[in-house]
Structure 1
């Protein structure tokens, strides 16, 4: 597995990481045993970059990673996040970027992961009541204490990134980016490249639609993240599957899994892109990791663009409630 730079200090990770949101049950039930098999497969495949968060399963994802590592964090570079709070009884959520809250949540994450520091600490969502300059001072303080190795932000705008960088070093920005979610091309990918910041695409497989067998929205139970989202609701979903079938036909012509091709397309977006596909199974992870070795060419990129041009997807990627906290910039 080839490597790319994740931090400004030159730290390298596998150019494809593993998103661990699904370990918390957001896409359906899973088990610790199954998640451990996936983590073991990651090591075998050379995937050494894990992405999790305090709210993934309300701590479940971090606990599963911690129980696998058993105190030995040397085999993985681990990123986690904080700033989103949820009421487990009402489901109500909000954002908190205050220093005391972030420090407390970090300590809880470290306990669940079984370590005394985390390699990268993201602000999961901006709390607009806290100026980003003050937020950076908090994060720089945690870094100086050795609690975190690097600073990251999730779903911010290029303008916010520039304000943050004016205070101190920012290592990574994470945003949704895939063949059906391409807003970061309108400034974020370019700004990260200019500032030497890693860009970490999450959901590079379109929340499962680029898998050989697409998800069936009829099976989504209450609480399932994709239930009710516009792209997975009719008539949008049928339109989307029709377009994706053309992409899958192209993958078949190239004798490659559509999963592998989608990840390879993402990698080709720039040397600072480090996609983190999420999966609960070792088999799917192997298809993702194969994207690192796929011989992408400008000709193939052109064919993909011809099949799935910018803006082809039907429906928004989030519901109205899910959009809260995502910074717009166009």
Structure 2
């Protein structure tokens, strides 16, 4: 697998998002998750991403059981599940969450530690100062920010260099191209694209609307409710046809498109099954292919917002 820089080391250009290990998209079990992690490492994936709220610690516990020390590992804190849902960026809370995560991960150090969402009433310079202390203490290798505006990144980076920024980015979510991806490139910061496969919409087969109510948040997500869901399936169908004609897998082509948007971009698709990793094989695509994909799926084609209003509460908006 091709390599891309993440902080002070290079990792596989495709990382792995472990959100689904917490059961947030469907039933899973430890044995299946561990087998998936093994298969991902064998495929050349070297960066694994989790968070303290994925299954309320379950995802971190699975990775801790896995016990690999030769991979680049990221986890996150900042979101406090409610009700009501809240965000905390104060130093005592960050330190407590980090210690709890390290115990679950069976580690004394994590390579990358994200602030999952920013608390608006804490200056980002103070937040960066807290993260700098954790770097100096050897608790973390570097820090990241998630779902922030370009100006927040610049302010934090001026206080202490940011390793990575993580935001949703895919064929149907392109907001980061309106400033954030460019700011990361200018500062030498990795851009980590989560949900690069549209939470299953760009999977091997058209998604069925059989989400578990109260567990799978897609059940109430604007893009996955009718009439938006059927409209999105119809809009993506020509892209599926293109992939079939070219001999590409749909997930592989979607990931190749993301990677083509910048050499500092690292997508982190997720899965609960080792079998799905085969679909992530990247086709060779050229400028003509990219133009055809953009013709079929132009910016803004998606029906519905990517989050419901309650989930947008702590996402920084800049356009």
Question: Is 2:310 aligned against 1:312?
Answer: no
Equivalents in 1 of 2:160, 2:60: separation in Å? Answer: 28
Structure 1 stretches of at least 4 aligned residues deviating more than 6 Å after TM superposition: none
Shift of 1:317: 0.7
RMSD: 0.9
Instruction: Give SS of 2:267's match.
Output: coil
Equivalents in 2 of 1:57, 1:220: separation in Å? Answer: 15
Equivalents in 1 of 2:236, 2:247: separation in Å? Answer: 16
Contact 2:25 2:215 (C-alpha < 8 Å) held by counterparts: no
> In the alignment, what sits opposite 1:99?
91
Instruction: Give SS of 1:274's match.
Output: strand
Shift of 1:129: 1.6
For residue 69 of structure 2, the aligned residue among 73, 97, 102 is: 73
> In the alignment, what sits opposite 2:167?
175
Shift of 1:214: 2.9
Instruction: Give SS of 1:217's match.
Output: coil
Instruction: Give SS of 1:13's match.
Output: strand
Gaps of 5+ in 1: none
Instruction: Give SS of 2:218's match.
Output: coil
For residue 217 of structure 1, the aligned residue among 209, 212, 229 is: 209
Once the two structures are superposed, residues 36-74 of structure 1 have per-residue CA deviations (whole angstroms, 9 ceiling, x without a partner) of 0100001110101100000000000000000111xx412
> In the alignment, what sits opposite 1:35?
33
Question: Is 2:3 aligned against 1:3?
Answer: yes
Shift of 1:139: 0.1
Instruction: Give SS of 1:275's match.
Output: strand
Equivalents in 1 of 2:17, 2:277: separation in Å? Answer: 10
Question: Is 2:71 aligned against 1:82?
Answer: no
For residue 165 of structure 1, the aligned residue among 157, 163, 185 is: 157
Shift of 1:212: 2.4
Equivalents in 2 of 1:92, 1:214: separation in Å? Answer: 34
Equivalents in 1 of 2:218, 2:84: separation in Å? Answer: 18
Gaps of 5+ in 2: none
Instruction: Name the TM-score, length of structure 1 as normaliser.
Output: 0.95
Shift of 1:223: 2.1
> In the alignment, what sits opposite 1:241?
233
The 5-angstrom pairing of residues 223-262 of structure 1 reads: 223-262=215-254
Question: Is 2:290 aligned against 1:301?
Answer: yes
Once the two structures are superposed, residues 144-184 of structure 1 have per-residue CA deviations (whole angstroms, 9 ceiling, x without a partner) of 00000011000000010011111011010000000000000
Shift of 1:310: 0.5
Equivalents in 1 of 2:135, 2:6: separation in Å? Answer: 15
Equivalents in 2 of 1:117, 1:314: separation in Å? Answer: 42
Instruction: Name the TM-score, length of structure 2 as normaliser.
Output: 0.98
Equivalents in 2 of 1:253, 1:115: separation in Å? Answer: 46
Once the two structures are superposed, residues 178-213 of structure 1 have per-residue CA deviations (whole angstroms, 9 ceiling, x without a partner) of 000000000000010000000000000000001122
